[in-house]
A and B are shown apart, each in its own frame.
Chain A
Amino acid sequence: MKPKPFDYVRVDTLPALFSALAAHDNAKIIAGGQSLVPMMNFRVAQPEVLVDINGVEALNHVGRDGDWLCIGAMARYQDLIDSPLVRESLPLLSEALGHVGYPAIRNRGTLGGSVVHNDPSAEGGVALCCLGAEVVVASAKGERVVPIAEFFVTTYLTDIAPHEVLTEIRIPVPLPRSGSAFRELAKRVGDFAIVNVAALVSVGAGDKVSAVSLALGGVAETPLSFDVGPAVIGHPLDAARAAEAARLVDALSDPQDDNVAGGEYKRHLAGVLVKQALLAAYIDAMAKGA
């Protein structure tokens, strides 16, 4: 059906945004709208005022800041996928975002919007958890920086207040001899993932794993990191170690049934994808040479 009537305000700057949010109760920011508008069309979301930030140029940037990559909240998925800077610095993010929806969704949808929306299997959220990102949340009174894992409270709920806006996502660039891999299964290319896995592996002397980071989507209320260090750190990563890591994840997760798949199926799928992703990330790291 169609959305309920609402008032509409377009803003081009952050100060204008804060004024608009202060002036209206039940105001909702619209960025790409690829998650919000479906909810409005089904009347699951009924904001009384929509504040459109698509014109806020200050939020649409991608740049390097020392050892960090800084992505503005309004950066569109497709622009990030096409960005040579992102592909070079954060290949895991490029790979993950390629799985988001379909071209039409990626042309409008934003990574910032996805992070605030917080779907349990959002590719962006899963990759950002794996990468140890942090987000910058701003209001008229100033800014605060929140680690991504703390920002994700529960399904569709994040640590952001109605008068605040996510302005930037900051991601530490992985160490030189690091490899990554993203694996996902969905019924149709571009559908919501049933389960997805992001893996980042660093390799040191003797081809031994020196650091590992793993995050999964679809097995909990939000994208979630899992510590598989005990299973793989200090050794080359072979099938047996990958299987041990998968067992660790299995012990720590409790996927629920939903309309797409049963909990047991998701558990099985997580095991398969964790092994695939870890091994692929290790091979990727090894290929980067000593």
Chain B
Amino acid sequence: MNEAAMKAIRVTTSVNGTSYTRAVEPRLLLSDFLRNELGLTGTHVGCEHGKCGACTVLVGGRAVRACLMFAVQAEGKSVETIEGLAAGADALHPIQRAFIDCHGLQCGFCTPGMINSTRALLAANPAPTDQEIRAGLAGNICRCTGYVNIVKAVRQAANEMRTTAAPEGVSK
């Protein structure tokens, strides 16, 4: 076997509130770690150079590209993926509900990244204008919807999150 591949490194990281310890190759991307090591396939892999946004997750409460971090760099950090967003099967997050209500997805490939970027956007700016929504989500590409319903969904989610007392754990 490849000599470098055998030099695995132990990494301990919290994902959606659960602590995981695994031995991984340094070159294993966080996106592939989440999908292949942990079976959390909600984080999607698109361009692998940071442009499409499909792999966006939250690390330490901040939106990051999982394809541009190595799993070993998540040591001691807390990661939130799309799988951790809903409180339960019947308790979707307002953002998730809004995307469904407003038909803000078709194939769903961009959606987890789009939702995580929306979380970050609304945490920093709870009442964005349409222009601010489009600029804030400019790093997430959608091939299906033409974005109009995504903007509607974010508007609905923002309205609901402002008017209810729903706590939002995302700091940025």
Contacts and interface: CB of A to CB of B under 8 A. Distances in A.
B76 to A, nearest CB: 9
Nearest to B72: A8
Give the one of B32, B62, B124 with max A CB within 10 A.
B62
B172 A105 contact: no
B31 to A, nearest CB: 10
B63 interface: yes
Interface string B26-68: 1101001000000000000000111001001000001111011
A225 interface: no
A107 B68 contact: no
Contact of A107 (B4, B5, B64): B64
Bin chain B's interface residue count. 35 or more
Given A38-B50, A189-B138, A190-B139, A105 B27 contact: no
Interface in A12-45: 33-34, 37-38, 40-42
Contacts of B5: 5
Contact of B29 (A2, A8, A104): A2
B19 interface: no
Interface string A75-90: 0001000000000000
Nearest to A49: B26
Contact of B139 (A1, A50, A52, A103): A103
A188 B135 CA distance: 9
Nearest to A192: B51
Interface string A92-112: 000000000111110110000
B2 interface: yes
B27 A52 contact: no
A54 interface: yes
Given A37-B69, A103-B136, A3 B27 contact: yes
B50 A188 contact: no
A6 B67 contact: no
Contact of B62 (A3, A107, A188): A107
A258 interface: no
